[in-house]
Chain A
Amino acid sequence: MLELISERVINFILFWGIWLLVPLLVDASTAFVYLLSLFVTNKSEDLSDFKLEFYPIVTMVVPVYNSAGTLKMCLESLVNQSYPNSSVQVICIDNGSKDNSFDVFQEFQSQNHDMSVMWVSIDRPSKSIALNVGMYSGQGTYLINLDSDTWLGRDAIQNVVKTFEKDSTLMAATGSIRVDKVLGKQNSFIDLINYCEVVEYLIAFDIGKRYQSMTNTIFTLSGAFSAFRRETIMQSFLYQERTVSEDTDLTFHIRNAIKGKNGRIGCVSKAFAYVEPIETLARLYSQRLRWQRGEMEVASAYYTNVTHVFKSVFDLVGRTLLTDHTLALAQMSWTFLLPFMFMIGYSLPMVSVAMGGMFVSYLLLDILYFYVAYRGADDLFRKELYKIRWIIFILPFYRYMLYWFRMAGNIQVMTEAKSWKVQNPIEQLADVFAEYKKRILSWSLFKKNARR
């Protein structure tokens, strides 16, 4: 009988669950490929024997917008680099800050005379324009953009320059971004989200971007920390305002521009930058929605001539769209319909067991991802990761939540004009109910006054 039940459950999962299983298999195959990539040595990554004969000028472009809280840390990380300060030029471009960011800058400037630091103010609240102003003003052989809420590891600039000098085909590269979070100390809800972020970034940058660098399939040169050869960025359209993902837009532009010119886009996986963990769930929603919206907008600009789905399978953007949009739509309906199947004749225990089986599949996937992250980390980081090994039970929920945030991005791009900050549906609902409450109160007050 047990054999029969398991046969029925497997049949149910395969037959109806295919809409959820295929996205899972796509993720699982990515995890396997990442795992395999860890066993492949990338020669351009090995910088131990490579010594710089001279130190080319590096321009750090830091767009600033109400960054008083983080700017100091960001700038101090630049002055504490192993790369000589005399070869570093820092340009901060303020695009309309209303806080005391400039005071922070002034204090830093007064304490660090050996480094060339500049402050430029522009009157347009646009990160793209701020970055472009910085890029144009920069004198460096290499231009690096760095968010003002991001700080660099000590060898970051050194490793970026070494990688570019060693590999003349490398035209632009993203750094490796990590979430700066002490692991295992606190376990509030947002801490758990942050731990998931740590694992996610570790996989996405240390392993994912490294693999993409090896296969020349980098999707985004991160807006938070990326480096360019001067001639490469100057021959491009620079950062454009037309989408909310100006960094992905630029990445695609450069990719097309260097196609057939023996150039490539890569990742300097040993150049670390650190970002603060996300503060609230609402911010995470806003961030992921923006990323997904940006992906769709950029894809629409560079992917208009694809005639059919089978062609898209063989294309980087096509595959991304297939999973993040086409499959995601089907996945949305089936997520709700699978539990509903008992209402059309399937036995409730069987449907329940099948749903449990689906969860176990997703859990196994995240165990695999955690293992990949663990394998890819250095010894010190492994010890930290080991402290939060139980996070594997949270990761499936985190992944599922991000799926909905991405879906919100897919929907929002069709309905609302672009905006840096967006309200999440819970906030919207709260606002609506607050408005209703206000109306009811004013109505009862009106009636009370009328009676008087």
Chain B
Amino acid sequence: MPGGEERNCRVSRYKLPVIAFLCVLFNLCAPASAWAASVIQVDGSFADWNDQISLSDGFGDGPDGGDFKTLAWGTNLNEQELYFMIERFTPKSGLTPMVYRLFFDMNNNGSYEDKIDKFAELQYNPSSSEGDKVSLKIFSSSGKLLYEKNGVCGDGGLKFEFALTVDELQIIPPQPIRFYLSGIGGAGDRLPGRGDVMWVPFPGKGGNKIWIVAGIIVWLVITAFFLKHRIWLFYFIWGAVGFSILLIMTLRGSPVEFFMEHLSGLILQSILRLLNIITLVYNDSPGTLLVLSRVDNTWTTMGVDIETSGLLEMCIFLGLIFFYPGYTTKMRTGYSLLGVILIYFINIVRMLTVIFIVQLGGRDYLFFAHSVLGRLVYFVLTIALYWAFFTKPTLKMIWEQVQNA
């Protein structure tokens, strides 16, 4: 027996197989449900754009043939592409060519004329012999052609879709960028009508189910080995960290993640509505919240994604709670349920902090709000939670042991 007399450590021999079985079952059975975002494809079919994140423009504020109706954007899981869809109102003078420019502020500083900034020129001629081909050229802000490619159009020359890869745009996800759509020439329409849209595209990765299941089995065997031989440090590290990583991989891109993100979006929208802050949510873009800033009348995309949903922190917390030696099953159950709910709401508080700062100070404060103050609020509250669920009960249990020694 290492370390002297064996202490009655409450580790159930049935716990690991049960956890592993549930993980494997969930992994294999989790369906692509209604909560999942539909997969966007550049194929000329536009059903995949229904209820994706988008902004609409009013009728008659642009020239005939160049009067924008909708601009939609989004990403897919396991892809490195940024998808866009542009729709115009039906022109009175027939299906005239569509020639638009999508301007990108790559360094998110409000200026579209920096060296790093770009714009995409999109040309589609419905009546040409090439049919549904869209020509797409990417220029630097100074007008130098960087490269060109083709997209696909459909639906009678009124809308078209295209994709740009993160490499083509030279962005490092999740990197905040801004953009707006404009017609060519001074009299062209603009979408949004004023300002622009800020977006932090983060085309995430989901795990391969077979590998995750294999990982769960290997993790289980090794964890059981450490447990059997009471090698506690390795048991705790391997068990807690392995569980967290496997849970993250399992939940990434799953209905659970999309449900949590969508619910966060809806809760945030309800709270912000009370404060007269205008927001938009989209069923097929779970967790995406478009917030209208009153400071400069611009839209900010607040994506409740893997970085901001609190999912990672929940998985880590669960890993620690399940494998922290000495706790009873009752403690583990109670703390894990309460902890997950609290982390979820701590994350809502964090999101509200970010939105308030952006509302008050404008989008230039996004970095500070998201990466510094919002994170600090989140950190302090989470540490308070760790104190309550780990350190305080630990002290109580040790004190009982010290008294009984």
Contacts and interface: CB of A to CB of B under 8 A. Distances in A.
Interface in B148-178: 170-175
B107 A4 contact: yes
B355 interface: no
A52 interface: no
Contacts of B240: 332-333
Interface stretch (A103-111, A147-155, A371-379, A405-413): A405-413
A297 B398 contact: yes
Contacts of B4: 416-419, 422
A269 to B, nearest CB: 32
B326 interface: yes
A309 B386 CA distance: 9
B383 A309 contact: yes
A350 interface: yes
B211 to A, nearest CB: 11
A414 B325 contact: yes
Nearest to A9: B172
A356 interface: no
A14 interface: yes
A242 interface: yes
A345 B388 contact: no
B12 interface: no
Given A18-B379, A297-B402, A414 B326 contact: yes
A139 to B, nearest CB: 33
A8 interface: yes
B107 A345 contact: no
A14 B396 CA distance: 34
Interface residues of A, number: 67
A235 interface: no
A360 interface: no
Nearest to A296: B398
Q: Is the interface of B mostly helix, strand, loop or mixed?
A: helix
Contact of A415 (B232, B241, B245): B232
B387 A333 contact: no
A340 B202 CA distance: 16
Contact of B245 (A241, A330, A337, A347): A337
B319 A333 contact: yes
A373 to B, nearest CB: 29
A4 B325 contact: no
Contacts of A411: 232-233, 236, 325
A344 B371 contact: no
A411 B2 CA distance: 14
B3 interface: yes
Contact of A325 (B245, B306, B394, B399): B394
A425 interface: yes
B402 A301 contact: yes
A309 B388 contact: yes
Nearest to B166: A347
A345 B203 contact: yes
Contacts of B241: 332-333, 336-337
A401 to B, nearest CB: 12
Contacts of B106: 4
Interface in A24-75: none
Interface in B372-405: 372, 375-376, 379, 382-384, 386-388, 390-392, 394-399, 401-403, 405
Interface string B109-150: 000000010000000000000000000000000000000000
B326 A296 contact: no
B312 interface: yes
B379 A22 contact: yes
Contact of B244 (A241, A304, A309, A333): A333
Contacts of B376: 18
A306 B234 CA distance: 31
A422 B116 CA distance: 59
Nearest to B367: A11
Contacts of A325: 390-391, 394
B88 interface: no
Contact of A308 (B172, B233, B384): B384
Given A18-B379, A322-B383, A332-B240, A416 B2 contact: yes
A57 to B, nearest CB: 35
Contacts of A10: 371
Given A242-B402, A345-B205, A347-B173, A414 B244 contact: no
Nearest to A343: B205
B274 to A, nearest CB: 28
A123 interface: no
A322 B387 contact: yes
A18 B398 contact: no
A124 to B, nearest CB: 15
B13 interface: no
A415 B7 contact: yes
B174 to A, nearest CB: 8
Contacts of B403: 242
Interface string A319-332: 00110011101101
B391 A428 contact: no
Given A1-B170, A300-B396, A417 B384 contact: no
A314 interface: no
A330 B386 contact: yes
B307 interface: yes
A189 interface: no
Q: Which of B9, B170, B245, B397: most chain A CB closer than 10 A?
A: B245
Contacts of B40: none
B172 A8 contact: yes
B206 to A, nearest CB: 9
A404 B244 contact: no
A397 interface: no
4 smallest beta-carbon distances between A and B, as pairs: A419-B4, A414-B326, A309-B387, A300-B399
20 contacts: A15-B371, A19-B379, A243-B402, A304-B399, A310-B384, A325-B394, A332-B236, A333-B319, A336-B241, A336-B245, A344-B252, A345-B174, A345-B205, A408-B233, A412-B3, A413-B401, A416-B5, A418-B4, A419-B4, A428-B231
Interface of A: 1, 3-5, 7-8, 10-11, 14-15, 18-19, 22, 241-243, 296-297, 299-301, 303-304, 306, 308-310, 312, 321-322, 325-327, 329-330, 332-334, 336-337, 340, 343-347, 350, 404, 407-408, 410-419, 422-423, 425, 427-429, 432
Given A332-B320, A411-B232, 4 more contacts: A18-B379, A329-B324, A411-B325, A419-B4
